[in-house]
Chains A and B, each alone.
Chain A
Amino acid sequence: MLEKVLTGPRTFYLWLLFLVCVIAGCGLVYLQQLQQGLSITGMSRDVSWGLYISQFTYFVGVAASAVMLVLPAYFHHYKKFKRMIIFGEFMAIAAVCMCSLFILVDLGQPQRMLNVMLHPTPNSVMFYDMMVLIGYLTLNAIIGWVTLEAERLDVEPPKWIKPLIYLSIIWAFSIHTVTAFLYAGIPGRHYWLTAIMAARFLSSAFCSGPAILLLLVFIVRRLTGFDPGRDAVKTLTTIITYAMCVNVFFYLLEIFTAFYSGIPGHQHPIAFLFGAHAGHLAWVSNWMWCAVIMALGSLVILIPPAWRNGPLLPLALIMLVVASWIDKGLGLLIGGFTPNMFEGITDYAPTCMEIAVALGVYAIGALVLSLLWKIALGVKREAGHFGD
Chain B
Amino acid sequence: MNKSRRSFLKVAGLSAFALSSGVAALSSTAQAAATMPGSSYKVGAAALKARRWAMVIDTRAFKGPEDYQPLIDACHKAHNVPTIEGSNQNIKWFWLDKFDSAFPDDINAYQTAAIKDRMFPLLCNHCTNPPCVRVCPTQATYQMHDGIVAMDYHRCIGCRFCMAGCPYGARSFNFMDPRKHLPKEVPNPTFPTRMIGVVEKCTFCAERLAVGQMPACVAASNGRIIFGDLDDPNSDVRHALAENYSIRRKPNLGTQPGVYYLI
Do A and B interact directly, with beta carbons closer than 8 Å?
Answer: yes
A124 touches B88 (CB 8 A): no
Q: Which residues in B have their C-beta under 8 angstroms from that of A112? A: 138, 155-158
Taking CB atoms and an 8 Å cut-off, the chain A residues in 31-80 that contact chain B are: 36-39, 41, 43-46, 48-49
In the complex, whether B208 has a CB less than 8 A from a CB of chain A is no
Asked if A45 contacts B176 (CB within 8 A), the reply is no
Chain B contacts for A113, CB-based, 8 A: 157
Binary interface encoding of chain A residues 94-127 relative to chain B, with 1 for a CB under 8 A from any of its CBs, else 0: 0000000001001111101101101101011111
B-contact 0/1 string along A191-221, CB 8 Å cutoff: 0000000000000000000000000000000
- B67: interface (CB < 8 Å): no
Considering only CB atoms, which chain B residue lies closest to A38 in the complex?
B175
Least distance between A19 CB and chain B CB atoms (Å): 28
- A115: chain B residues at CB < 8 Å are 137-138, 140, 155, 157
Known A37-B176, A188-B253; contact A45-B101, beta-carbon cutoff 8 A: no
Taking CB atoms, residues of chain B closer than 8 Å to A110 are 157
Report Cα–Cα, A376/B139, bound state, in Å. 43
Pair B169/A38 contact, Cβ less than 8 Å = no
B87, B102, B157: residue with the most chain A Cβ atoms closer than 10 Å: B157
- Complex Cα gap A189–B253 (Å): 11
Chain B residues with Cβ below 8 Å from A103 are 159
Q: Is A138 an interface residue (CB 8 A)?
A: no
Cα-based distance from A108 to B175 in the complex (angstroms): 8
Interface size class of A (residues with CB under 8 A): 35 or more
- Determine whether A130 belongs to the interface, using a CB cutoff of 8 Å to chain B: yes
Known: A341-B169, A342-B102. A188 touches B158 (CB 8 A): no
Which B residues are in CB contact (< 8 Å) with A125? Answer: 135
Residue pair B131, A45 in contact (C-beta under 8 Å):
no
Q: Say yes or no: B164 contacts A343, CB within 8 Å.
A: no
Residues of A within 8 A of B105 (CB): 265
For chain B residues 124-165, which have a beta carbon within 8 Å of chain A? Answer: 131, 133-140, 155-161, 163-165
Would you call A119 and B161 a contact (CB within 8 A)?
Answer: no
Which residues of chain A have C-beta atoms less than 8 A from B255's C-beta? 187
**In chain B, residues 110-134, which have Cβ atoms closer than 8 Å to a Cβ of chain A?**
131, 133-134
Q: What CA separation (Å) do A109 and B161 show in the bound complex?
A: 13
From A36, A108, A187, A188, B160 is in contact (CB under 8 Å) with A108
Known: A188-B250, A341-B167. A121 touches B136 (CB 8 A): yes
> A108-B198, A113-B157, A336-B164 are contacts. A186–B173 as well, Cβ < 8 Å?
no
Q: Are A39 and B175 in contact (CB under 8 A)?
A: yes
Contact B88 A108 (CB under 8 A): no
A208→B11 CA distance, assembly (Å): 44
* Binary contact readout B194-229 vs A (1 if CB under 8 angstroms, 0 otherwise): 001111000000000000000000000000000000
Alpha-carbon distance between A103 and B241 when the two chains are bound, in angstroms? 44
Q: Are B135 and A126 closer than 8 Å at their CB atoms?
A: yes
Specify which chain B residues have a CB less than 8 angstroms from the CB of A119 in the assembled complex.
138-139, 155
What is the CA–CA distance of A239 and B139 in the complex, to the nearest angstrom? 42
Is B159 a contact partner of A107 (Cβ separation < 8 A)? yes
- CB <8 Å contact, B169 and A109: no
Query: Does A344 count as interface, using CB distance less than 8 angstroms?
Result: yes
B197 in contact with A107 (CB, 8 Å): yes
Q: Are B157 and A107 in contact (CB under 8 A)?
A: yes
Instruction: Contact check, B169 vs A340: say whether CB atoms are below 8 A apart.
Output: yes
| Closest chain A residue to B197, Cβ basis | A108
How many angstroms from the CA of A121 to the CA of B164 in the assembled complex?
18
A257 interfacial contact with B, CB 8 Å: no
Kindly supply a per-residue 1/0 record for chain A positions 323-339, scoring 1 wherever the CB is within 8 Å of any chain B CB and 0 otherwise. 00000000000001100
Q: Besides the contacts A108-B174, A126-B137, what 14 more A-B pairs have beta carbons closer than 8 Å? A: A37-B174, A46-B88, A49-B164, A108-B157, A112-B138, A112-B155, A115-B155, A121-B138, A123-B133, A186-B164, A187-B167, A336-B164, A341-B168, A342-B169
CB<8 Å pairs between A and B, sample of 16: A37-B177, A37-B197, A39-B89, A39-B175, A43-B175, A44-B87, A107-B159, A108-B196, A108-B198, A116-B157, A182-B161, A187-B254, A341-B167, A341-B169, A342-B102, A346-B88
